[in-house]
Amino acid sequence: MNMIADFFRYLRFTDGIATSDIIGWILAAVAGIIAYKLIDNMQTSIERHNMISSIEDGFSSLFDSTIAISDEPHTDLTVSDVENKKVMVRSVMHDDSPWEIIYAKGKPGVLEYKVIRSQRYMHIRNNDMSNEWISTQALHELCLKCRRIEKLFKSGIMKRIDLSDMFRELVPLGASGRIEYISALYDVYDADCLGYIVMQAVVSCEKCRNNSEYINYFAHYYMTHPDIRRYFISGTRIRKIMDYFTVKEFIRIVERRSKLYKDA
Model confidence at 33, pLDDT cuts 50, 70, 90, reads confident
Q: Give the Cα-Cα-Cα angle 40, 152, 167 (nearest 5 degrees).
A: 115
- Predicted local confidence at residue 239, as pLDDT: 93
Angstrom CA distances, 257 to 9, 60, 218, stand at 72, 28, 9
**Nearest-angstrom CA–CA distance, 50 and 158:** 11
| Adjacent-strand bridge partners of 86 | 69
pLDDT greater than 70 at residue 113: yes
**188 with 139: CB under 8 angstroms?**
no
Q: Where are the domains of the chain?
A: 48-65+136-263, 68-134
Q: Quick one: average pLDDT of 126-151?
A: 95
Instruction: Inform me whether the pLDDT recorded for 40 exceeds 70.
Output: no
Say what the pTM is. Answer: 0.83
Q: Could you tell me if 73 and 128 are in contact, meaning their C-beta atoms sit under 8 angstroms apart? A: yes
* Secondary structure in 3-state letters for 11-67: HHHHCCCCHHHHHHHHHHHHHHHHHHHHHHHHHHHHHHHHHHHHHHHHHHHHHHCCC
Residue 121: Cβ within 10 Å count: 23
- Residue with the bigger pLDDT between 240 and 29: it is 240
Q: Tens of pLDDT along 157-209? A: 999 999 999 999 999 999 999 999 999 999 999 999 999 999 999 999 999 99
Q: What is the pLDDT of residue 8?
A: 47
**How much of the chain, in percent, has pLDDT values that exceed 70?**
84
Percent above pLDDT 90 for the chain? 69
